Chains A and B, each alone.
Chain A
Amino acid sequence: MKILVLIKQVPDTEAQIKIDPSGKAIDESGIKFVLNPYDEFGVEEAVRIKEKNPDSTVTAVTIGPERSKEAMRSALAMGADTGIKIWDDSLAGADAGVKAALLAAAAGTLEYDIIFCGKQAIDDDQGAVGGAISRLLSVPFVSNVVKVDISGGKCILQREVEGASEIVECGMPCIISAQKGLNEPRYPSLINIMKAKKKEIKEMTPAGLGVSDLASKTELVGMEPPPSRPPGRIIEGEPAQAAVELVRILREEIKVF
């Protein structure tokens, strides 16, 4: 089995996000970057498939600047065999469509049975890439997956939707986006972290992939801080009194029921 995992380096979930004076980017100083949590699920699932099917290979692919090598090392330490890192400075600020075109072009140079991606990257929070490469590669896509079973050359996938789980039968190759619940990502052992340092990260450029149209179809007009919430009110008193007051507020002031 040949597996590709699309990974992105993103700010840690705890990171304080400040808007850069340009108003069009975030200020990266002091931010700790990590492997996107949803991509960890993808890497873990790929590595588990490989552990069951020993002649498999797992290749992690990322588009990102120099710093994103660190996220790549995390994926390699979890058990991915090799990495591909795509970048050139013209990609700063490129939208999901451009990234998807590059990832599809990179996938096109490789053999694959499954491509894992994350439900969304927790920086832009879009969930756009999986569907886009599905179209570009003419390969089926199933999103929000919490269970993968492979048998008889097919994937049986469980997709979580509002209020239900859908079991989707899908031929290979296919693209699967990972949702929490798929697995518990491992913590790489020290020895695997050391081994990861020796694994190859192949660096590529858009030109090297033959992609020349790098124009985003969306324009970032600006960024602003989220609206702040007005200070809240503490309802004083014994539990019974406070409960009565709360129910009154919700009924009479907020009118939710």
Chain B
Amino acid sequence: MSGNVYTILDTRDGEFPQVNLEALAVGRLIAEKSGKDLISLFFSDNPSAHLDKFAGRGVKKVHLFASPELGKFNLEHLGKLTINKIGQENDSIVVLPANIHGKELGGYLAAGLGAGYVTDCTGISEEGGKIVYKRPAYSGKVIQKLAASAGAALVVGFRPNSFPVPEADATGAPETVAETVSTEPAKAVIVEVKKPEGAALDVTEAKIIISGGRGLQEGANFSLLEELVALIGQGATVGASRMAVDAGWRDHQAQVGQTGKVVSPELYVACGISGAIQHLVGMSSSKCIVAINKDPEANIFKVADFGIVGDIFQVVPAICEEMKRVKV
């Protein structure tokens, strides 16, 4: 037992995102199962502003990497600083936040640390003295169970919303270590971040997704779903099937499915979506699925917890009415 469990965290637009807390929860779980210490490497232009976030999460030590250029994600900087810090420790486990940046970093770190790599983990257990990581493969048609090969370090990424994030407990604040940061100029740098005007919450970050498909008939009709999202309020957003995206009704950022995003919100409401396999693989791990479709034979009903067989143009406005009624 030479290694530690590390979480590699950064900030985005100066914020400490929710996925970081999830990464800390996953790291803590693995640390408890393996009897290792949980240590964080934290990269930011202003890391001290977020130190409170580490308290009560079972973190022993936080290494602070502070530098203006670390305010924006950069694979080369984060990758090299992490590899230099951890080195080739045997059987260390490195946990990454479940977002695009974390995923981009994962393969790089695994190669640099001589480690294995498990992405999209959805469950962790112990079997035969090994820590076993479950992950969906083949678009969720199979669950793979993976473990680190004997003596190998492991990089672990997980699916957002797959692990509970407990409230901070009484374990208190970790020790902090300020690191000196020296970086070479990176070969790839972010020169601009574009956020669409009044940007909707991303489907991968939403707790509730109201998704529309071809059944909506035209782009303008998505206003029905937007109204419902507005009534639900924070944490809700509009998603779409590929048909709706290909028709130009929705931005492809909103596409759920095989070639879109994989989501696992608390609630997924599919409106006028048939439930093609390529759509199901993107949303079938949602906690609760509601389907609204006029075709009682539609495939979407096979995965739905609750279904309404009916016309979305009647059912969705009726749901909005009821939401307004119960809200007052």
Q: Is the CB of B288 within 8 A of A219?
A: no
Chain A residues positioned under 8 Å from B107 (CB to CB): 96, 100, 127-135
Count of chain B residues with a beta carbon within 8 Å of a chain A beta carbon: 100
Is B220 an interface residue, CB under 8 A from the partner? Answer: no
- A114-132 at interface with B (beta carbon < 8 Å): 122-132
Q: Majority SS of interface residues in chain B?
A: mixed
- Partner-contacting stretch, out of B29-37, B168-176, B314-322: B314-322
Q: Is the CB of A13 within 8 A of B258?
A: yes
- B201-245 at interface with A (beta carbon < 8 Å): 201-202, 204-205, 207-208, 232-233
Q: Is the CB of B111 within 8 A of A224?
A: no
Q: Which of A216, A217, A219 has the most CB of B within 10 A?
A: A217
- B68-117 at interface with A (beta carbon < 8 Å): 73, 75-76, 79, 99-101, 103-112, 114-117
Type the 1/0 row for B127-165, where 1 means its CB is closer than 8 Å to any CB of A: 100101000111111111111110011100000000000
Is B42 an interface residue, CB under 8 A from the partner? Answer: no
Q: Is the CB of B258 within 8 A of A140?
A: no
Q: Is the CB of A167 within 8 A of B191?
A: yes
Chain B residues positioned under 8 Å from A134 (CB to CB): 75, 107-108, 111
Provide the bound-state CA to CA distance between A160 and B196, in Å.
12
Chain A residues positioned under 8 Å from B127 (CB to CB): 221
* Chain B: minimal CB distance from A38 (Å): 8
Q: Is the CB of A128 within 8 A of B106?
A: yes
* Chain A: minimal CB distance from B275 (Å): 12
Q: Is the CB of A164 within 8 A of B194?
A: yes
Provide the bound-state CA to CA distance between A161 and B141, in Å.
26
Is B323 an interface residue, CB under 8 A from the partner? Answer: yes
Is B277 an interface residue, CB under 8 A from the partner? Answer: yes
* Chain B: minimal CB distance from A230 (Å): 8
Chain B residues positioned under 8 Å from A247 (CB to CB): 319, 322-323, 326
Is A68 an interface residue, CB under 8 A from the partner? Answer: no
Is A165 an interface residue, CB under 8 A from the partner? Answer: yes
Choose among A163, A180, A243 the residue that contacts B201 (Cβ–Cβ < 8 A).
A163
* Chain B: minimal CB distance from A17 (Å): 4
Choose among B114, B138, B303 the residue that contacts A217 (Cβ–Cβ < 8 A).
B114
Is A30 an interface residue, CB under 8 A from the partner? Answer: no
Assuming the A-B contacts A123-B137, A220-B146, A224-B145, are A169 and B307 also in contact, with contact meaning beta carbons closer than 8 angstroms in the complex? no
Spell out B's residues near A (CB within 8 Å).
73, 75-76, 79, 99-101, 103-112, 114-120, 127, 130, 132, 136-149, 152-154, 186-196, 199-202, 204-205, 207-208, 232-233, 252-253, 255, 258-260, 266-267, 277-278, 284, 288-291, 296, 301-311, 314-315, 318-319, 321-323, 326
**20 residue pairs A–B, Cβ–Cβ below 8 Å:** A13-B277, A97-B117, A124-B144, A127-B119, A130-B107, A143-B103, A143-B104, A162-B205, A169-B188, A170-B188, A217-B116, A224-B145, A226-B141, A229-B289, A232-B304, A233-B306, A239-B311, A243-B321, A246-B290, A256-B267
Nearest 6 interchain pairs by C-beta: A131-B107, A217-B116, A243-B318, A218-B116, A140-B188, A135-B111
